[in-house]
Amino acid sequence: MGLLEIKDLKVHYPLKSGFLSSKKSLAAVDGISLALEEGKNYGLVGESGSGKSTVGRAIVGLERITAGQIIYEGTDVTAAIGKRKSAHKRNVQMIFQDSGASLNPKKQIGQIISEPLHNFEQLSQQEEKKRVLELLEMVGLPEDALRKYPHEFTGGQMQRIALARAVALRPKFVIADEPVSVLDLSVQAQVLNYMKRIQEQYKLSYLFISHDLGVVKQMCDELAIMYRGRFVEYGDRQDIYLNPQHIYTKRLLSAIPNLDPENRELHKRLRREIESEYKQSMESYLAKDGRVGDLIPLSETHRIAGKPSKGER
């Protein structure tokens, strides 16, 4: 049995309509499906505005789902996920790009990390403190962090605090929405290492949301490439990096900086070629019906749920 299945998920935001104009909506997520297995990591990649965060927020119940289903360990939880203190809240956690904004500035770190334990577990004070200290240690923070406030920590430390809080209830699934994108490269690597270590310890799965294919490369087994609310390509990491099918994926890959001076010129030339192919493709899809996913129909590239065989490409 899979861990989490998303079936034809749609999140449409109503747009303000004028006095005489008909009601319109923005299809932020427009019919995506995904099957996630336990212990594996998944990446959701696309440019800003493609709908990645909306998917993550819908899975944890922070967005109203327009249509589709979310199935957790075989149970349809679509109706339950918005409810406070539901089992889904416990099983599926989320960390955000800017923990400075998502951690309550008026609360001490000890209170912040123990909050989910308070809400969901009946622990004695001593047990709770022991657990919070374990969590702090797990993300490399000292005991005296307990009584400090979020503003006393660096960006990387705050992401580690958010991580400790997210895994306090030992969830099987954590959604990480651009968790390192505002951090320096060396700090990024540190946070990702903590995430990996915790995953090994807890055997959890991440859905790693990022605009940067370079970052998800280290973290994910499978990747979905998203454009305008839809998946244009889905597959395992090796296939996507070595044999991208869709021009949009190729373009995202070409945006990863090439640090090898010997290959820099070749990289620049390839980028130019891809950019020109991308422009032509975009013109042809705009002339058609505006759905870039139709440039390469999903059936010809990847089956939406599950890994496709090579013969299907």
Ligand X SMILES: Nc1ncnc2c1ncn2[C@@H]1O[C@H](COP(=O)(O)OP(=O)(O)OP(=O)(O)O)[C@@H](O)[C@H]1O
Binding site for ligand X (CB under 6 A): 13, 26, 28, 46, 48-54, 211
Specify the pairing of strand 222-227 against strand 42-45: parallel
User: Residue 239 and residue 303: Cα distance in Å, rounded?
Assistant: 13
Q: Find the length of the chain.
A: 313
Least distance from ligand X to the Cβ atom of residue 13, Å: 3
Q: What is the largest CA-CA distance in the chain?
A: 65
Copy the structure tokens of residue 223: 């990747």
Which is closer to ligand X, CB of 58 or CB of 296? Answer: 58
Closest distance to ligand X from the beta carbon of 143 (Å): 36
Token pair for 288: 């058609």
Q: Smallest gap, in angstroms, from Cβ of residue 158 to ligand X?
A: 19
Residue number, 53 or 281, with CB nearest to ligand X: 53
The two three-digit tokens of residue 159, written as one number: 């992401």
DSSP-derived secondary structure letter, 3: S
Of residues 46 and 61, the one with the C-beta less far from ligand X: 46
Type of residue at 65: I
Least gap, CB of 210 to ligand X (angstroms):
9
At closest approach, how far in Å is the CB of 263 from ligand X? 29
How near is the Cβ of 120 to ligand X at its closest, in Å?
Answer: 28
24 vs 272 by CB, closer to ligand X: 24
User: Under a CB-based contact definition with an 8 Å cutoff, are residues 41 and 221 in contact?
Assistant: yes
- Name the residue nearer to ligand X (CB basis): 55 or 112: 55
Residue 11: beta bridge partners?
Answer: 29
Does the CA dihedral 55-60-64-65 come out positive or negative? Answer: positive
Strand partners, 130: none
- In contact, 175 and 93? CB cutoff 8 Å: yes
Shortest Å distance, C-beta 46 to ligand X: 5
- The 10 Å Cβ neighbour count of residue 79 is 11
Which residue, 58 or 92, has its beta carbon nearer to ligand X? 58
Of 94, 96, 107, whose CA–CA distance to 153 is shortest? 107
Closer CB to ligand X, residue 26 or residue 79?
26
SS3 225: strand
